Chains A and B, each alone.
Chain A
């Protein structure tokens, strides 16, 4: 019987022909810890009685949610992280290079076929290069740091096929929002998503990243794309036979198959305050807005900033709207500077900030208050995430967000 991508990754890692529902212990290829949870990971690690890391080179520590510190207490996280890294000989520490999920692939820590865990729920992102990656808690992370292993239940797979050419005003973000709306917030819980079809084959790795990033919003354990030549170039490797074989077999068993025609997609938004509350933008046009955020591990990449710039070029943000743009990494910031994107955005009235999680987690400025409305390109619109619990958060693609910033209200990008 054939295998899905996740079944192949687990087979390659453990040697076991596991089927969905089986519990297996995997050998972890890489882990990521971010600034918010490092103090808890450090204290649990010592509570467990471990004396050394299973492999310091496989551990990556990234400061991004709190960078730079906006409250005195934030500095404790950097201090604890630095001390932990020093004590246990960790060299992979990023203190101001960008968002963890951007850096894990951009800085070449994750390769196709790897098994990776991170302390942030959006760790599903690395499925964009064909890695099985998922979010875990700090106790479980401490356990991996000591043992290098973790138990997982082999998930069933939902196959999502997308074929055809996307309309010009539709981005990968619109596809994943539509899918989450169709699946519901728990429609993929405990399951793997597997994307296939010529639309995703033609996508950049960056676009695939937006989609795997948000898989957790439907509850998914991971979201996988087959590695191809674009993946190899992005990861700076040549694919070996096992990596090339990370494709769902024709006779693999899927628990569900969903097919979309690319031409049918339209710009959509996730409306307050659930990510699965998805509506076509044309149905909510006219709603006045106070702020727009373009950035995050979902949509802070060069192609996202360039897409926003293509809409904003030669125009200006509405006078009462604050447009905040946050590149996902230092590398992207530099590229966007060099190719003129940042100038276009700044000329249009955008405030451009340092690479970090920015507004997404409401910790480094840009928070809103009761009754205000924000259009944002990040991945969650839960109550209270970007300010008070009476802020309305609409999630959208960078093109839609840019069009809204100019109009000062919700509009469909043209």
Chain B
């Protein structure tokens, strides 16, 4: 079980991690500024195993891979949104952060509620409610299962 942190539509990558922090040498130095303009307390309140739930077009804007990377570094277990911007989506899979499309979740849950996600079944449970997610294409699920692109490439070479 993890807590829900809820965001609306068109959350852009500048809002996930602003440009001025991109030049910090490491993701660990950046992560304290995650979602700073939308929820300044996010980084201190989120705990490993918590979830980000959003509406349409999550992660639009720049190609910065730091956006999924700071979420992963803070221990966010998955991002569940109505839809994702494509570069964010690819980047998240490549670094091993699960990103799941679920059309009905956003409207039917509140921030702070506890939820559980079964990636294998593609099912989200929040108290007594169950929501079905769109499963990842097999190719991408394969990359994710191996922990991201680096692990996946290393496995191919082995």
Contacts and interface: CB of A to CB of B under 8 A. Distances in A.
Do A and B form a real pair?
yes
Interface of A: 23, 36-37, 39-40, 44, 47-49, 71, 73-74, 76-77, 118-121, 123, 134-140, 143, 146-147, 151, 153, 185-186, 189-190, 219, 221, 274, 361-363, 380, 382-385, 389
A137 B85 contact: no
Nearest to B95: A139
Given A219-B86, A382-B14, A137 B94 contact: yes
24 contacts: A23-B139, A37-B64, A37-B65, A49-B157, A71-B23, A120-B62, A134-B87, A136-B91, A137-B87, A137-B94, A138-B65, A139-B91, A140-B91, A143-B94, A153-B137, A185-B10, A186-B57, A219-B86, A362-B19, A362-B20, A363-B19, A380-B61, A383-B37, A385-B14
Nearest to B138: A23
Contacts of A48: 150, 153-154
Closest 4 pairs between A and B when the two form their complex, measured CB to CB? A137-B65, A186-B57, A137-B91, A135-B63
Interface string B1-19: 0000000001010110011
A219 B57 contact: yes
A139 B149 contact: yes
Interface in B132-158: 137, 139, 148-150, 153-154, 157
Contacts of B65: 37, 40, 137-139
A39 B87 contact: no
Contacts of A118: 63
A383 B148 CA distance: 31
A119 B91 CA distance: 11
Q: How large is the interface on B (under 10, 10 to 19, 20 to 34, 35 or more residues)?
A: 35 or more
Contacts, number: 106
A153 B90 CA distance: 11
A20 B110 CA distance: 36
A150 B113 CA distance: 39
Contact of A120 (B63, B66, B90, B154): B63
Contacts of A37: 64-65
Given A139-B150, A382-B12, A384-B37, A121 B94 contact: no
Contacts of B150: 44, 47-48, 139
B85 A189 contact: yes
Contact of B94 (A73, A76, A139): A139
B139 A383 contact: no
A336 to B, nearest CB: 28
Contact of A77 (B23, B60, B63, B94): B23
A190 B157 CA distance: 30
A384 B25 CA distance: 21
Nearest to B91: A137
A143 B87 contact: no
A140 B153 CA distance: 11
B25 A76 contact: yes
A5 B127 CA distance: 48
A153 B138 CA distance: 12
B10 A121 contact: no
Contacts of B148: 139
